[in-house]
Chain A
Amino acid sequence: GENVEQHPSTLSVQEGDSAVIKCTYSDSASNYFPWYKQELGKGPQLIIDIRSNVGEKKDQRIAVTLNKTAKHFSLHITETQPEDSAVYFCAASADSGYALNFGKGTSLLVTP
């Protein structure tokens, strides 16, 4: 089955800096790559997603890039703010979302 590796497991940045989280996947048939943000005590919330026919997608301070050849995708957060502090999960699916495989998560801390 699909294996999704996520790095780093923890990340600490200063407010205003950029944060980058990277994920690799094993199944070359994967075609859907979402990112979820989980705040303490809450369920994960979708923040951005990308399909395999798109190389990059942006939404305000958040962007995701996909390299199908290398089988990796990354989340970029610019101008980080303390409210960006949370656990972020990447995921991949080879069948348009039916069976998502999640990475183990990255705990991001943004310090003022």
Chain B
Amino acid sequence: EAQVTQNPRYLITVTGKKLTVTCSQNMNHEYMSWYRQDPGLGLRQIYYSMNVEVTDKGDVPEGYKVSRKEKRNFPLILESPSPNQTSLYFCASSSQNGEKLFFGSGTQLSVL
């Protein structure tokens, strides 16, 4: 089954404790992206990657890092999480440069 898998689904952590949210897709897509969803703000792009070893900032990249060492994986790294990074995070992939995105099921992150 074609899918984008995010882990974990839920995460509660404390300020400053480094964490990684994993994202993996099994569709051989070149394009992958991370979004955060906050009430009243919709979906905002954090980072995207057009291919292996190629990443670019989205609209809200501050406080986040990504890497794209393999085509299927695109982890989101929070080096020093802060409470304002409490949000619902979505990973997505596409075979068409960001068009027709497939989204994962989301990761609800709470930073205390």
Residues of A within 8 A of B (CB): 1, 6, 32, 34, 36, 41-46, 49, 89, 91, 93, 96-105
Contacts and interface: CB of A to CB of B under 8 A. Distances in A.
Contacts, number: 70
Given A43-B106, A98-B48, A32 B99 contact: yes
A57 B105 CA distance: 28
Classify chain B's interface size.
20 to 34
Interface of B: 4, 31, 35, 40-45, 48, 50, 56, 58-59, 90, 92, 94, 96-106
A102 B98 contact: no
Contact of B98 (A6, A44, A98, A103): A98
B21 to A, nearest CB: 14
Q: Shortest 3 CB-CB distances between A and B: which pairs? A: A97-B98, A43-B103, A97-B99
Given A42-B106, A99-B58, A102-B42, 19 more contacts: A1-B59, A36-B103, A43-B90, A43-B103, A44-B101, A44-B103, A49-B100, A89-B42, A89-B43, A91-B43, A97-B100, A97-B101, A98-B50, A98-B56, A99-B48, A99-B56, A100-B98, A101-B59, A102-B43
